[in-house]
Amino acid sequence: MFLISQQEFSRRFPDNVNDTYFDAAIGYDWKLQQAIWPIDQLFLEGYEMYKSMLKSEIIGTNHLHRSNLSIVDQRCFDEIAHSRGWLNSDSELERVALSNQLKLLFSRLIVVLKSRKFNRHFEQIALLSSTPNIDHPFSCNGTGYLHLAIRWMELMPDDLNIYLDHLGAKIPGQNILQLLSHNFKSNTSHLINEDSVRYSPRFPMISFISGNDILNLILEQPAGKVIDVIELNGGPSLLLIDSLGINLLDGWSDS
């Protein structure tokens, strides 16, 4: 059991990617500081089985030179890109170029995920019925393949290096590739050691909170869920955490 202030818990376990309710999140990624969703667990299981092949298959999509996203996926991409801030730029030309590069990226990743080399593992996930903000962290529904492709880059942003090194098409006068890389990698935590835990379930927590602050209580948090509340007369908001056997201090360089 660990006792920690709400402020410190929020600092150590934020979600740097998703802006949504976390009721349906099932875990937490300590390295990238983001909640894990049902679709992520299914993807990561396949990724661990096929990661070498997945990385090599990225290079083989060089025959695709333009995005072939469906209308449904393009609309969902536009909504996700806006909420994620991927297209933030003062230059309209740069925003359009970056949007085109991202659509091409996800089109190529979808080609990889559809490969029969993976024993239809990803097809089975992509064809599952999904509900926005429940099965995945997006507020829109594209095809399952689009959801998988985006979460692939958000969960394994280092794989973007393979894409950029071999397939990234430079646009003269624009730092499109640099922006593309930054947008996916800026959420990596520098406080977690490489040998520390990366994935964990969301922790059950008891909140000790002043009555004056109880209206601000957040029950669903990226890395934990408040299952009981004890009202105090005053003092800071505290969380008593069942860490499920995980040392919450492990890997922190500034504890």
Would 249 be classed as within a structural domain?
Answer: no
Listed residues 161, 185, 209: the one ending a domain: 185
- pLDDT at position 253 is 47
Strand ranges for the chain from DSSP E: 2-5, 27-29, 34-36, 199-201, 203-210, 220-221, 224-232, 238-241
Same domain, residue pair 42 and 166: yes
Classify residue 199: in a domain, yes or no: yes
Residue 135 lies in a domain: yes
pLDDT (tens place) for every residue of the chain, 255 residues total = 899 999 999 998 999 889 889 999 999 998 899 999 999 999 999 999 999 999 999 999 989 999 999 999 999 999 999 999 898 878 888 889 889 999 999 999 999 999 999 999 999 999 999 999 999 999 999 999 999 999 999 999 989 988 988 887 655 445 777 777 777 776 665 555 666 778 999 999 999 999 888 888 999 999 999 999 999 888 889 999 999 988 877 655 454
In a domain, 15, yes or no: yes
Q: What is the pLDDT of residues 211-249, one digit of tens each?
A: 888 888 999 999 999 999 999 888 889 999 999 988 877
Q: Are residues 106 and 138 in the same domain?
A: yes
Query: Do the domain assignments include residue 251?
Result: no
In this structure, are 85 and 15 located in the same domain? no
| 240, HSE (Cβ side, Cα atoms, 13 Å) | 9
| pLDDT score at 90 | 80
- CA atoms of 46 and 147, how far apart (whole Å): 15
Tokens of 176: 């499109």
DSSP string, 1-27: -EEEEHHHHHHHS--SS--S--TT--E
Please tell me whether residues 69 and 152 are part of one structural domain.
yes
Q: Are residues 176 and 78 located together in one domain of the fold?
A: yes
Tell me which residue range forms the domain holding 111. Answer: 34-185
| 112, 57 Cβ separation under 8 angstroms | yes
- SS3 of 158, please? helix
Residues 65 and 121 in one domain: yes
Whether 146 and 40 share a structural domain? yes
Same domain? 44 vs 140: yes
Is 250 part of any domain? no
* Same-domain pairing of 6 and 72: no
Q: Kindly report whether the global pTM for this prediction surpasses the value 0.75.
A: yes
pLDDT at 251: 54
- The confidence score (pLDDT) of residue 246 equals 86
Rounded to whole angstroms, the Cα distance separating 202 from 219 reads 12
Q: What per-residue confidence (pLDDT) applies to 164?
A: 87
Type of residue at 230? I
Residue 96 and residue 121 share a domain: yes
Give the pLDDT confidence score for residue 103 in this predicted structure: 95
Same domain membership, residue 221 and residue 177: no
Return the pLDDT at 201. 94
Structure tokens at 145: 């393949």
Domain count for the chain, please give it: 2
CA neighbor of 69 nearest in space, from 150, 135, 130, 155 = 150
Predicted confidence (pLDDT) per residue in 68-86, tens digit: 999 999 999 999 999 998 9
